[in-house]
Amino acid sequence: MRKRITKFLEKIIESLLLISGTFTSVIVLLIILFLFKEGAGLFTNTPMEKGNVVALNKANQVNELTPAQFKNIFDQKIKTWKEVGGSSDSIKLFRVDDIASFYTEDQIGSNFEHLGACINDHISKTPNIIAFFPTEYAATGFQGKLVKLKNITIGSFITDKEWFPTAQPVAQFGVLSLILGTLWVSFAAILFALPLGLATAIYLAEIADSRVRNILKPLIELLAGIPSVVYGFFGLVVIVPLIKTIFNLDVGETALAGSIILGIMALPTIITVSEDALRTTPRAMKEASLALGASKWQTIYKVSIPYSASGITAGAILGIGRAIGETMAVLMCTGNAAVIPHTLLQPVRTIPATIAAELGEAAQGGLHYKALFALGCILFIITFFINLAVEMISSKHRGGKHI
């Protein structure tokens, strides 16, 4: 009997452990589910403010507009109908506030009771008009033609450069500049962190004696423990003013400042992973090289480094992954301008910083909110593939390899 109970308990414990074991997988799947569900909502909607419509004169041949075309029309970057597939006449903009310049107060009515009729009248009389006004004024008997605003597509989301999530009348959700900004800052960070990190890893793994190593190693681990917000704060009060003075800029919050801070933050990852990789070089291989009269340094760069090349690559990629996902430090140091940067001395905005800065203001369930989740999806996808790459590289490393 007792034996039975024990066996039964064992089974229960085993299944409890199994459940815990699969917990992370469930969480990853849940993250994917929630992120993509919220993010996908962006692509089933038009970026038009709710309760508003856009109307044209009936004679106009144009039936549909993309959000970007729409915005450019109201920004007067597009001036003729020809540019959006219509006649070559120039576009006349009309917002509901403009009504007073066409009709008298009497005509509109003291309580705006005739406003709808006036708008209707104005649209039907002006062939090249594009009008933006509340839906309620386009009630029965409306003479104009309502324009269909196209949905945001995944393609335009990724390739458009303009990120104006709260713009009127149509918000712009183009994330190219954010993606490029993120990659810019991260790669610049690795460009400076990789050589330094690798040099340190080599020093720790191959050159330093154990006494020096025992001092350096915990200190470098400590560097990994400092919270990112403290790095951001340090960047803000030290590096940003320094860059401002050195390069004689108006603002010091630049891609460069972000890159330097991110580089410092990526260093411990690169150092630890590369050092571990270097340590896997078999002693026999190093001894063979030394026995042939190679110097210690020649042995390092001709045997140890090639042998651990894939591990070092994994470290670098992991470092990039950390840099791409880092939020607070970048948010505090880069100036957050949503434009494609051309030099490191310009402000730049990254995906994580955008989410952190804007999610608080975005109405839950609104388009802006969904767009930020879509950004989260992009971030997740990027880091997912980075993790996958690291996984593949390091599992390859364990098998036989060839320099």
17 touching other proteins, by CB under 8 A: yes
Subset of 84-113 contacting other proteins (CB under 8 A): none
The Cα–Cα gap between 23 and 41 comes to 27
Among 43, 102, 192, 234, binds other proteins (CB under 8 A): 234
Site map (CB under 8 A) of other proteins, residues 331-350, x = contact: xx------------------
Of 122, 64, 73, the C-alpha closest to 93 is: 73
Q: Does 364 bind other proteins (CB under 8 A)?
A: yes
Q: Please, which residues have CB within 8 angstroms of residue 345's CB and are 6 or more apart in sequence?
A: 243, 247, 249, 254, 255, 256
Interface pick for other proteins out of 55, 267, 278, 314 (rule CB under 8 A): 267
Among 289, 308, 313, 334, binds other proteins (CB under 8 A): 289
Task: Establish if 258 lies at the interface with other proteins (CB under 8 A).
Answer: no
Residue type, 109: G
Which amino acid is it at 279?
R
User: Is position 40 an interface residue for other proteins (rule: CB under 8 A)?
Assistant: no
Check: CB of residue 165 under 8 Å from CB of residue 368. yes
For 142-223, list the strands marked E by DSSP. Answer: 145-146, 148-149, 163-164, 172-173
Cβ closest to other proteins, residue 64 vs residue 391: 391
Q: How many CB atoms lie within 10 A of CB 250?
A: 5
How near is the Cβ of 352 to other proteins at its closest, in Å?
Answer: 4
In the list 238, 247, 343, 398, the residue contacting other proteins (rule: CB under 8 A) is 238
Confirm or reject binding of residue 158 to other proteins (CB under 8 A). Answer: no
Asked if residue 294 binds other proteins (CB under 8 A), the reply is yes
First-to-last C-alpha distance (Å) of the chain: 62
Which one among 64, 89, 136, 391 touches other proteins, defined by CB under 8 A?
391
Min CB(255)–other proteins separation in Å:
18
User: Is residue 25 part of the contact set for other proteins (CB under 8 A)?
Assistant: yes
- Regarding 383 and contact with other proteins (CB under 8 A), the answer is yes
The residue type at 139: A
Binding mask 176-215 for other proteins (x = CB under 8 A): --------------------x--xx-xxx--xxxx-----
Among the listed residues 20, 88, 101, 110, the single contact to other proteins using CB under 8 A:
20
Report how many residues bind other proteins under the rule CB under 8 A: 106
Residues 6+ apart with CB under 8 A from 130: 54, 55, 56, 73, 91, 92, 93, 94, 147
Contact 132/94 with Cβ under 8 angstroms?
A: yes
Task: State the minimum distance, in angstroms, from the CB of residue 50 to other proteins.
Answer: 20
> Which of 197, 177, 180 is closest to 319 using CA atoms?
197
CA dihedral sign of residues 20, 21, 26, 32: positive
Among 23, 80, 191, 396, the residue binding other proteins under the rule CB under 8 A is 23
Q: Which one of 218, 241, 247, 280 is in contact with other proteins (CB under 8 A)?
A: 218
Q: Is position 367 an interface residue for other proteins (rule: CB under 8 A)? A: no
> How big is the CA angle at 249 (ends 246 and 254), to the nearest 5 degrees?
90
